Chains A and B, each alone.
Chain A
């Protein structure tokens, strides 16, 4: 049973994405195949060099870098959203892959869930 969790919320303006990340890590901890897709404002999660100290939050960059170690299979970035936010591949975390978000992608998973 493979799962795709979609995060379309910006990294620091909402807690919903962080709680979706917890869902992904839980699946991985129970040996369930899981991938994360970032779309819309969510692609900003994948930016390199984040510093969240000034908003008194932990940088999510470290969490995301550890995702493959925890067993999350892929960190996917929607190409349209990357264009929209001016992000090119070299500006994304090394583990991220740019992809096209559409029915072909979601059809590869048994279970698709959006962050709140």
Chain B
């Protein structure tokens, strides 16, 4: 088996720190749910998550107004609880968020909107948070709508 998967030997071992980028929306894609299961597995393996970054349609995960039927998993609530319990920052991209009607109190005031709907502990911030992760040692994984 001299030619069996030579590339595999060059693949580095998984790093100890992960950044998760979620771009798929809850309830129209599997991305937030798959990411949550992965996040639990990361902590169970004694590795660390430095940040969860919501981008594109992924920002809907941070809405405090999502109200699925009571026999379905409330993904926003589940993610918020996971982040709070494990002290992991959850950041929604401000440009994606504003386009999709996700605002915190200060953006509500800035744009004179009727309500704010950002669920704690999620925060709203710029793409610089994502740049910071890509420039760090952390391994950045993307959860898109297809996954």
Contact A114 B144 (CB under 8 A): yes
- For the A-B complex, the count of residue pairs with Cβ-Cβ distances under 8 Å equals 43
- Binary flags per residue of B116-128, CB closer than 8 Å to A gives 1, else 0: 0000000000111
| Residue total for A at the interface (Cβ-Cβ under 8 A) | 15
Q: A19-B56, A23-B127, A116-B24 are in contact. Are A111 and B134 (CB under 8 A)?
A: yes
- Binary flags per residue of A5-31, CB closer than 8 Å to B gives 1, else 0: 000000000011001001100110010
Contact B134 A22 (CB under 8 A): no
Contacts of A22 in B (CB 8 A): 95, 127
Contacts of A3 in B (CB 8 A): 134
A-B contact pairs, 16 of them (CB 8 A): A1-B134, A3-B134, A15-B99, A23-B127, A26-B126, A26-B128, A26-B131, A27-B134, A30-B128, A32-B131, A113-B21, A113-B142, A114-B144, A116-B56, A116-B57, A116-B144
